[in-house]
Amino acid sequence: MNKRSIIYLILGFVLLAGTVGIFSSRFDLTKEKRYTLSSSSLQVLKNVQKPLMIEVYLDGDFPANFKQLQNETRFMLEEFRKINSNIDFKFIDPIKTKMSQDTLMAMGMQPSILPDMKDGQVRQIVIFPYVALKYQEFGSSVPLIVQQSGIDATEQLNKSIEYLEYNLISNIKSIAQENRKNVGILINQDELGPEEFQGFMQMALESYNAGPVVPEQGDELTQADIPKLKKMDALVIAKPRKPFTDGEKVILDQYIMNGGKTLWMMDAVNAEMDTLTRSKKIMAYPIDLNMNDFFFNYGVRINSALVKDVQKFALLRLVTGEVSGNPQYTSLPWPYFPLGIAENNHPVTRNINPVKFEFPTAIEILERPGIKTEILYESSPRTILKTVPNYVDLKELSKPDSIGVNERASDSKIFAVALNGEFSSAYANRSERNAYPDFKPKSTENRMIVISDGDVGRNKIIKGNPLPLGYDLLTNQQFGNEQFLRNALDYLLDDANLMELRNRNIEARLLDRQRIDNEKTNWQWFNLLLPLAIIGVLGALFFLLRKRKFA
């Protein structure tokens, strides 16, 4: 066998192997590398130690725009399976397999009903765009469609494709990780009760080990609680009403210095909507939690003036009349409930529903060396500050943009900030350090989030039953509070840098519909005649060459 024959044999084997799929390779030539998995995703996938089955309920007869989501999902799952043989997947048509909607809804899947035009008739198609993850005895459902209000269906599908990798990888990490991180809920400061905080707890337990941190001695944190705090990767402080003692502040300071992450939901003013609804008028007054110097050290000051946003606000639904004994409700603008609408690309706030704040106050940022401050939410430029003590009256609903007593127009005010960097202890040069064993004057790279509203993580309770976090029963609106706090925890505890995937931007290269309509016939004829012309030219060329050779 000569050298040329060996080369032909090798090339033939390579071609045959590629044809039957013994090995294959793909090249990502897109500008944004949309078909290349991130290093964070690769790390998560390689850590799946046992069989993971992914069931995709996105198969069957549905509109063409969902076909793109189906294809993108299939392609990504094929990549997952190549990286780790423990991962497998299958597509399921729940209609064809005659799965009952009750079974699917019991798995946490809500149906989507889509209109479809076929043969001149409009019909309704029911689909369940979800993924079910099954790992050992655990299971979870993952929505493939991003739930965000204020965008059309096309944009919603584009965003769903953008977040596909993050949605799948983050949920695979949650269900398959062997050691979950611990989240402690501080409860010794008269924080939110179990019923009021149930929505947050259910959300946190999906990805973390979450539970209360109860002081060992009395109702105050002491050094006896240090071993328990060291086991907590993050600490949540939700609407404390009792002042912190100096001893507690030293313990919390050292918890942060030793790498503990903190999520603060703080009220600086006492103003409750339940009381206002009953009495129509309340006196709002400042709350002294003895934490001003604590936050000042980290470059944050929570002021006590109430923020009224007369441009971005939630609606308050009240009884404004009665007809034949039936109450008549009206939704009115309530500037004390400003909406947090993300205006940047921070991964905590990007592309989620507006977050509802209730009687928030303003956060002032102070420069501190080594600490980077990122604004998560702020009010609109049409903001009014109300100095307290002061009255809050339901009559303000009639003129939400009017400036009352002890009120003044202001610029945008901050509601939530993320701090990251190397934090310095507030007690490094104070005598309190001597009472703390193994005192640490400075932290390594750390993070914290401060929110100037204690009710942002509070779910409503109707007749003793907790509602989903962020859901307003009267206006039937689902705000983004749950997703915001979920992202906040993920941001604080994200060692794999998965949150970077939330900032991934995939450009939608859409076709020009007008040009398609104008040139449709030309391109149809082009596609029909061009292959015939190529075949004719090749046939004529072959005939001429054959005639020349054998003539």
Whole-angstrom distance, CA of residue 162 vs CA of residue 504? 7
Q: What are phi and psi of 7, to 5 degrees?
A: -60, -45
Query: What are 425's two structure tokens?
Result: 């202890």
pLDDT at 20: 47
Q: What are phi and psi of 408, to 5 degrees?
A: -150, 150
Q: What are phi and psi of 206, to 5 degrees?
A: -65, -30
Q: What is the pLDDT of residues 390-439, one digit of tens each?
A: 999 998 888 888 888 889 999 999 999 999 999 999 898 888 888 888 89
Whole-angstrom distance, CA of residue 107 vs CA of residue 128? 11
Query: What are 158's two structure tokens?
Result: 């584009």
Domains in the chain, start-ordered, CATH in brackets?
31-176 (3.40.30), 182-494 (no CATH)
Amino acid at 401: D
pLDDT at 8: 59
Intervals of the chain under pLDDT 70? 1-35, 64, 114-124, 148-153, 322, 324-325, 495-496, 502-514, 516, 551
Contact 374, 365 (CB under 8 A): no
Helical spans, DSSP H, in 21-63: 39-46
Whole-angstrom distance, CA of residue 143 vs CA of residue 141? 7
Q: What are phi and psi of 524, to 5 degrees?
A: -65, -45
pLDDT at 30: 60
Region of 247 please: left (phi>0), alpha (psi -120 to 50) or beta: alpha
Whole-angstrom distance, CA of residue 475 vs CA of residue 317? 7
Residue 533 burial (C-beta neighbours within 10 Å; 0-12, 13-18, 19+): exposed
Asked if the bond preceding 115 is cis, omega within 30° of 0, the reply is: no
User: Interior CA angle at 144 toward 139 and 150, to 5°?
Assistant: 135
What element of type H or E holds 262? strand 261-265
Q: What are phi and psi of 54, to 5 degrees?
A: -115, 115
Query: Could you write out the three-class secondary structure of 92-157?
Result: CCCCCCCCCHHHHHHCCCCCEEEEEEECCEEEEEEECCEEEEEECCEEEEEECCCCCCCCCHHHHH
Tell how many helices (H) and how many strands (E) occur in the chain.
13, 27
Indicate the SS3 state at residue 59: coil
pLDDT at 298: 92
pLDDT at 25: 57
Query: What are 347's two structure tokens?
Result: 């991964």
Contact 141, 130 (CB under 8 A): yes
Q: What are phi and psi of 80, to 5 degrees?
A: -60, -45
Whole-angstrom distance, CA of residue 244 vs CA of residue 189? 7
Q: What is the pTM of this model?
A: 0.80
Contact 499, 169 (CB under 8 A): no
Whole-angstrom distance, CA of residue 141 vs CA of residue 502? 19
Whole-angstrom distance, CA of residue 260 vs CA of residue 249? 14
Owner of token pair 């962020």: 470
Indicate the SS3 state at residue 207: coil
